Chain A
Amino acid sequence: MGALSEKNALIERPRGAGKRRRAPAGQRVARLAILVLVLGYLVVPLLAMLEFSTRGDLDKATNTFPRSLQAFAAIFTYPNLVDGILASLQIAALTVFGMLLLLVPTMVWTVVRVPRMRRVIEFLCLLPLAIPAIVIVVGIAPVYQWMGQHLGSIGGSPLTLTFISIILVLPYSYRAIDASLRSIDVATLADAARSLGAGWPRTIFQVIVPNIRGGILSASVLAIALVLGEFTISNLLSFSTVQVVIYLLGKRDPYVSVAVSLVALVFAFVLLFVISRFAPGADTSTQRAAEEPA
């Protein structure tokens, strides 16, 4: 019996087996410090914006600013601001639509039919990163001037910025979609779909697109964030997008200006949350196989 117990003792689970090893105390403190620093770096400006934008009128008796949401409420009292927000949201929506329409079929087609062109497409899509905004404006200003003169109200609409926005978001959107496409065997999936009777539109929209959903969402969120944050080109071309209006408003009513910026940031956070909520692991499922018998 004693021998058996001894034998059992030999095959007992070692203490702590299967548990995650705890990092040394010094390392844990360092991690915590870094986390606090990073969070502080990110959160402190937001708290400062919140503090500033929620200041009410000065209470002369106490010489303090009572908390008030009047700056947020005032957002909708500035017609230019509302128009700017609406214009930016419309540009963002059109940009996402145009970018997806341009990139997804092109990239899928490139992967499936002309893989040797992949590098060329990549180069073209990344090119806007290397061109300063001012150069783009100088180059494209005559086109906008012509549109303003010959296309009437359409030519002068801020929505025409969509064309530039699509170009500006290409590098980021391309990368997001490309990463998704690389995580699945697009060529084989397309061959399989086509052999089953699908034409190219069905192959792309019923088979490929659902499997690169994560990349498409990422590309869309990046595009929206970039469009909502774009200032230089809109300002130089004299279009009243949200950033331009915020800038102008900042000179007249800094409280409302900061309130709008804060709302825009919160909107971006919500978008990021949406992407992390709806796109987790959507593109990696093909590569995993359960350890089960055939």
Chain B
Amino acid sequence: MTSTISSPAETGHGVAVVFEEMHRWYGPVHALNGLSIDIAPGELIALLGPSGCGKTTALRALGGLDVVDQGSILVDGKDMTHVPTNKRNMGIVFQAYSLFPNMTARDNVAYGLRLRGVDKDARNKRAEETLELVGLGAQSSRYPHQMSGGQQQRVALARALAIEPKVLLLDEPLSALDARVRRQLREEIRRIQIMLGITTLFVTHDQEEALAMGDRVGVMNAGRLEQIAPPAELYDRPQTRFVAEFVGLTNRVPGKADAKTVSVLGATVELLPGSAERGDVTALVRPENVRLTQAKDGTGRVLAVSFLGSLCRAQVAMRDETIVVAQMAASDSVGLFPGAVVRVGVVPAPVFATTD
């Protein structure tokens, strides 16, 4: 059987998307505050942020489901800002189950093709293939109420992909699913996205999801893009205090900054750009960068030890009552127990520092 699912080169998938200075107000709420993002063809951008930060508004604006008050949206170089949703050719997978209840999985997937005038045989064939792609080839005759949440979201993904959209928009599609299914499905989405090379905007409030899936991750706060960078860079070199605190776990440890370095927990480490550079500061130190050594003259006392499988996390109280969390390989945690006296240090990795 010859596949009718086309590769990016054949269909023009993998177009560039540009957000230019987008603003959106809902009454007094500034939901998008000068949002600008360049998305490269075939890239998966994960927008991450707390509830109400504007990430879904940005996605809906790109999909044409919401308007922007200022700014513009370019897709493949064309201004799409005022193009109606149904003319944008974008595939959207929603947070809520959005399959049409009166249609089978096959009919749901074929619906977009039906609207494009594809004849019945061709659209059914394409629908079956797309369902096969998401691992639901055998479920094509089922109605949404006969499927689990995970299956419904797979069908929704197939439906979005069947129309060969210019851009794939994923609006927290995994948030209603249980943890196991969520992990499994996110890997499949990423596999399919890479296979098809389709430009994708993925909105989530789950940082593990964003870091695992995104080529780049954009962190949003109060309508603004705080930082956009590859996951490792975002994690290791946050540019703002919000990013440093929002992404991953951080310890707030007092230190003394001196131009490009900060003295913290007995060590001098490099400061990240954007940090406070003078005087007493609060250094934001990742738990995995904290080192614990058993020593009778140590300045910390272990309060609790949590076993997390391959990792272990220890909570340590310092003499000045600061609580520091350290994370290490489980094999390195031998001898750590509540009450143990330890010396607390940091590895020489750059840190972010603030004055508050």
Question: Interface on A for B, CB 8 Å cutoff?
Answer: 184-185, 188-189, 191-199, 202, 207, 210-211, 213, 282, 285-294
A199-B86 contact given A188-B96, A294-B181, CB 8 Å threshold: yes
Instruction: Say whether B92 contacts A191, CB under 8 Å.
Output: yes
Which of B144-152, B201-209, B318-326 binds A?
A: B144-152
- Closest CB of chain B to A280's CB: distance in Å? 13
Q: List 20 A-B contacts (CB under 8 A).
A: A184-B101, A185-B98, A188-B98, A189-B98, A191-B63, A191-B65, A191-B98, A196-B115, A197-B87, A197-B163, A210-B102, A211-B102, A282-B102, A286-B99, A290-B148, A293-B181, A294-B148, A294-B151, A294-B181, A294-B185
Chain B residues, CB < 8 A from A202:
115
- Closest CB of chain B to A24's CB: distance in Å? 37
Chain A residues, CB < 8 A from B55:
none
Instruction: Say whether B97 contacts A196, CB under 8 Å.
Output: no
Chain A residues, CB < 8 A from B211:
none
- Residue B154 CB within 8 A of the other chain: yes
- Residue B254 CB within 8 A of the other chain: no
Instruction: Say whether A285 contacts B144, CB under 8 Å.
Output: yes
Instruction: Say whether A192 contacts B163, CB under 8 Å.
Output: no
Bound Cα distance from A193 to B85, whole angstroms? 10
- Closest CB of chain A to B8's CB: distance in Å? 20
Total count of chain B residues near the partner, CB < 8 A:
45
Instruction: Say whether B111 contacts A294, CB under 8 Å.
Output: no
Instruction: Say whether B100 contacts A211, CB under 8 Å.
Output: yes
Instruction: Say whether A195 contacts B111, CB under 8 Å.
Output: no
Shortest 8 CB-CB contacts between residues of A and residues of B: A294-B150, A196-B112, A285-B145, A294-B181, A210-B102, A192-B98, A197-B115, A195-B92
A194-B65 contact given A210-B102, A286-B101, CB 8 Å threshold: yes
Instruction: Say whether B98 contacts A285, CB under 8 Å.
Output: no
Chain A residues, CB < 8 A from B92:
191-192, 195
Bound Cα distance from A92 to B63, whole angstroms? 43
Instruction: Say whether B89 contacts A197, CB under 8 Å.
Output: yes
Chain A residues, CB < 8 A from B153:
294
Bound Cα distance from A258 to B145, whole angstroms? 47
| Candidates B89, B101, B147; contact of A292 at CB < 8 Å | B147
Known: A188-B94, A196-B112, A293-B148. 13 other contacts (CB 8 A): A188-B98, A191-B65, A195-B64, A195-B92, A196-B86, A197-B89, A197-B112, A197-B163, A287-B145, A293-B181, A294-B154, A294-B177, A294-B181
Instruction: Say whether B148 contacts A198, CB under 8 Å.
Output: no
- Closest CB of chain B to A30's CB: distance in Å? 37
Looking at A195, A198, A199, A282, the one whose CB has the most chain B CB atoms below 10 A away is: A195
- Closest CB of chain A to B346's CB: distance in Å? 41
| Candidates A191, A197, A199, A294; contact of B149 at CB < 8 Å | A294
0 or 1 for each of B299-318: is its CB under 8 Å from A? (1 = yes)? 00000000000000000000
| Candidates A194, A285, A287; contact of B143 at CB < 8 Å | A285
Instruction: Say whether B151 contacts A195, CB under 8 Å.
Output: no
| Candidates B86, B87, B145; contact of A286 at CB < 8 Å | B145
Bound Cα distance from A146 to B65, whole angstroms? 47
Interface residues of B in 107-164 (CB under 8 A from A): 111-112, 115-116, 143-154, 156, 159-160, 163
